[in-house]
Amino acid sequence: MKLLRQVLTLCAFIGAAVGMSSSMAADISKPAAAKEAPKVVVAKAAPQEAPKDLVLKGDAKCTSCHDEADAPGLLAIGKTKHGTVADSRTPTCTKCHGESEAHVLNAQDTKIRPKPERTYSGQLAPGSLPSADRVDHYFGIQGKRTDTPVEERNGSCLECHQKDAKRSHWMGSTHQARDVACSTCHKIHSAKDVVRDKRSQTELCFTCHKEQRAQVNKPSHHPIVEGKMACSDCHNVHGSVGPKLMKRDSVVDTCYTCHMEKRGPFVHNHEPVNEDCSNCHNPHGTTAESMLKMRPPFLCNACHTPHGGNIPAVMGRTIPGSATSPLTPTATSTGKSNININQGRGCLNCHTQVHGSNNPSATNPTPQFNLR
């Protein structure tokens, strides 16, 4: 009986030991299985937003890179006429610079991207200019270091602006014939275009026209330096049918827009006045009063033979030494002395109406001499 109880106790002990070992094996196998087959949770990526336009319609193609951090000056175009979104005529970036797919994609992933199709400045490194004979053709004040031809640069502007009557004569004009680019004078992306402001316009023109800079600083000049006039008041720099890029059909018509009193018509005309005001005047400035090219009598003597006090008609004589005419002026005779005529040697002392006279008299004084 005692032996049977010991056998049963041994069996119970063995069964308990086997149960504990199986449970421990199960607990150990769980983390091992977890390590062998971990569960991977894949998060769904949020949809990427398309880049937004900053200034112009469709400019995200460019401003996604050329933003305020990269080139803040470019975004100033929004403050110009070219940035008026409400105007259907407003161009886009690609309208002027071309689609430029090679520049946008940079398929070869180069450090320096390919250039846009049309560039207007700063695309050629100094020292890598194409050749000396192409400098005048390709390079201007604002168009330096670009190998885009002037015709192509201007063509992008003329697509819209040639329809304007003020620019319809650009082809064949002096500036066009001398390969001046629109970007030479205009700053498209600048909030303030210097050439469109009359207060600063002349300084830009003087960059090339240095002779006129010196003339307007002479004592007798139009109020250009004072800011009351600008080059565009008289000239149409985009071309005209008149000479010297005048806004009107002739020089005199342009001058008459301000100097109406010189227009006439007069009974007795001074022909050089009707022909060209610049026959006698230099409108940019001179050292003689009234912007005359020379002071009288030298200016007048360029066309008229000078006379002195010994002219019979001036002295009151009909024929020198004749019986019917006194040889010297008297109280009843007409005429002037040599001293009076030669005083100051100024033709305008007597010939006051040099632009034309309406004197109806045929004899006193003789009207064709523009005396009064």
| Integer angstrom CA distances of residue 358 from 351, 362, 369 | 13, 11, 11
Residue 356 has pLDDT above 60, yes or no: yes
Nearest to 289 by CA among 346, 238, 240: 346
Residue 140 has pLDDT above 50, yes or no: no
Average pLDDT over residues 182-201: 88
| Structure confidence at residue 44 (pLDDT) | 59
Between 12-21, 179-188, 289-298, the lowest mean confidence (pLDDT) is in: 12-21
> Which is more confident, 6 or 325?
6
Band (183; pLDDT cuts 50, 70, 90): confident
| Structure confidence at residue 230 (pLDDT) | 94
Residue 303 has pLDDT above 80, yes or no: yes
Average pLDDT over residues 275-293: 95
**Coil vs helix vs strand at 357:** strand
Residue 203, phi then psi, degrees to nearest 5: -65, -35
Q: What is the DSSP letter of 266?
A: -
| Structure confidence at residue 42 (pLDDT) | 57
| Structure confidence at residue 10 (pLDDT) | 65
Nearest to 267 by CA among 332, 176, 360: 360
DSSP string, 219-244: SB--TTTTTS--GGGTB-TT--SSGG
| Structure confidence at residue 190 (pLDDT) | 86
**What does R_g of the chain's alpha carbons equal in angstroms?**
45
**Residues forming beta bridges with residue 357, ordered by sequence position:** 268
Residue 308 has pLDDT above 80, yes or no: no
Instruction: Characterize 138-172 residue by residue with b for buried, 16 or more Cβ atoms within 10 angstroms of its Cβ, and e for exposed.
Output: bbbebbbebebebeebbebbbeeeeeeeebebbee
Q: How far apart are CA 308 and CA 159, in angstroms?
A: 64
Between 119-128, 203-212, 270-279, the lowest mean confidence (pLDDT) is in: 119-128
Q: Are 104 and 114 in contact (CB under 8 A)?
A: no
Q: Are 191 and 76 in contact (CB under 8 A)?
A: yes
Average pLDDT over residues 360-372: 64
pLDDT digits (tens, 9 = 90+) for 329-338: 444 444 444 4
| Structure confidence at residue 60 (pLDDT) | 86
Q: Are 311 and 305 in contact (CB under 8 A)?
A: no
Q: Are 277 and 252 in contact (CB under 8 A)?
A: yes
Report how far Cα 100 is from the mean position of its chain's Cα atoms: 26
| Structure confidence at residue 332 (pLDDT) | 46
pLDDT digits (tens, 9 = 90+) for 81-102: 898 888 888 898 888 998 888 8
Residue 147 has pLDDT above 90, yes or no: no
Show the tokens assigned to 341: 């005529």
Residue 185 has pLDDT above 50, yes or no: yes
Q: Dihedral angle at the C-alpha atoms of 264, 269, 270, 271, nearest 10 degrees? A: 100
Residue 65: how many CB atoms within 10 A of its CB?
13
Write down the H helix ranges in 116-267. 135-138, 150-161, 174-177, 182-185, 198-205, 210-216, 251-256
Show the tokens assigned to 285: 């400035």
Nearest to 231 by CA among 213, 218, 253: 213
Output the CA angle 342-347-352, nearest 5 degrees: 130
**Average model confidence (pLDDT) across the chain:** 77
Residue 40 has pLDDT above 90, yes or no: no
Instruction: Characterize 311-344 residue by residue with b for buried, 16 or more Cβ atoms within 10 angstroms of its Cβ, and e for exposed.
Output: eeebbbbeeeeeeeeeeeeeeeeebeeeeebeee
Q: Are 75 and 63 in contact (CB under 8 A)?
A: yes
| Structure confidence at residue 213 (pLDDT) | 94
Position 121: which residue type?
A: S
Residue 53 has pLDDT above 60, yes or no: yes
Average pLDDT over residues 196-212: 91
| Structure confidence at residue 232 (pLDDT) | 94
Of all helices (H) and strands (E), which one includes residue 93? helix 93-97
